[in-house]
Structure 1
Amino acid sequence: MDSQLEQQLRELLDKQAITELINAYCNAADRHDHAKMQALYHPDAIDDHGHFAKGLASEFIAKLPEIQKAMAILHHNVTTINLKLDGDRAEGEVYILAFHQVKGENGLFDVLIGGRYFDKYEKRDGQWKFSHRAIVADWAYPAEPSKVQMDHPFLSGAYIGQPGLADPSYNFFSLFKRGEF
């Protein structure tokens, strides 16, 4: 294999590893899997999640049980991923749609957010992880009260997703493990 093709293959594999990291973040957030979330960041990584937390990612993750307590539904969807590699470091602009159903003082309300993550990644000991992640909100669509209808006839007989261990994925899959990346 020539050196140019070898370099292209390495970049493709690195981009795939980073894409899997991004997707694992969504799963960890939506399933409230804090051990998995911690495994996605380097120990000295920074996370800027607006008013929720700005600083060490480990401090943000430690706050997640309290932050997510009011979240009845979290559903992150990655759309466009733009990645630039430079050896063992990379940067990414990741477009997301994130749906939140929240338990408020007056009952449930919804917030659909269109935004982006500004990411910096580093490959250490052969593994890509976040070194810095910042949330950018481009728009929000609130609905109060909530418009979600989990009892709609169209959903009859379907598995119903939930945060935490009650999610049906933990009984369905044998290869995906809670707390693992």
Structure 2
Amino acid sequence: MSTEDFTRQLGELMDREAIRECMFRYCRGIDRQDEEALRSAYWPDATDRHGPYQGSATGFIDWAVKKLAADGERSVHSISNMSITLAGAQAAVETYFMALQRDRDPEGVSREVFLAGRYVDRFEKRDNEWRIAARTVVYDWLRHMGTPEGTEAERFGIRMPVGSLKRSDDPVYALLASLGS
């Protein structure tokens, strides 16, 4: 393999890893209501078609953070099966996701929803950084699971620590702070 081929392949691997890290930041941001992480996953001029929301990514983040703060109780997003097609400073990225969400209905009753689908994203590399430029969320599976049965303590006994929707209360941020991140 020539030095030129090796350098090109190494650059492509680094680009793919930067895209994966951006997707992981998005998941942490949405699950922990970490507005900074969410904003860092999108370019300021990005668009998002996300369920009932369609418009700017900035508007989506504003809408989601407000909605989660008002109604959200728990959220876990897991991503897999990521296909990345690089095309210069752009990439077509399809990422499968599964999400479990617990929120409250308008009457304040807890409800749970299982979602599975795909993030269909156009990423752009600007100033050597990859972020989402345009997102369409494709919902392949949606199941309303109703109200949760019992409390977590009844199902599992007291387990600590419990993940938090709030950045300030979740253990991963204490770990990051201890590393100076």
TM-score, normalization by structure 1 = 0.90
- Residue pairs, 1:117-136, within 5 angstroms: 117-136=119-138
User: C-alpha displacement at 1:157, in angstroms?
Assistant: 3.8
Mapped to 2, the partners of 1:121 and 1:73 lie a distance apart of: 28
TM-score, normalization by structure 2 = 0.90
* CA RMSD across the alignment: 1.8
Is the 1:110–1:144 contact (alpha carbons within 8 Å) kept by the matching residues of 2?
yes
Structure-2 residue corresponding to 1:166: 169
Q: Which moved more, 1:59-68 or 1:148-157?
A: 148-157
Residue type of the alignment partner of 1:138: D
Cα 1:88–1:33 shift into 2, 3 Å? same
What residue ranges of structure 1 are gaps of 5+ in the alignment? none
Structure-2 residue corresponding to 1:142: 144
Identity value in percent: 30
Report the structure, 1 or 2, having the larger helix content: 2
Cα 1:80–1:2 shift into 2, 3 Å? same
Residue type of the alignment partner of 2:123: Y
Secondary structure at the counterpart of residue 98 of structure 2 = strand
Deviations 1:66-92 (A, max 9, x none): 221211001100021011001111011
User: C-alpha displacement at 1:176, in angstroms?
Assistant: 7.5
Secondary structure at the counterpart of residue 81 of structure 1 = strand
Structure-1 residue corresponding to 2:56: 56
What residue ranges of structure 2 are gaps of 5+ in the alignment? none
Secondary structure at the counterpart of residue 161 of structure 2 = coil
Structure-2 residue corresponding to 1:45: 46
Relative contact order: is structure 1 or structure 2 higher (C-alpha 8 Å, sep ≥ 6)? Answer: 1
Mapped to 1, the partners of 2:150 and 2:25 lie a distance apart of: 25
Mapped to 2, the partners of 1:176 and 1:8 lie a distance apart of: 32
> How many corresponding residue pairs?
176
Structure-1 residue corresponding to 2:4: 3
Mapped to 2, the partners of 1:42 and 1:101 lie a distance apart of: 28
User: C-alpha displacement at 1:149, in angstroms?
Assistant: 4.1
Deviations 1:114-133 (A, max 9, x none): 11000010000110011011
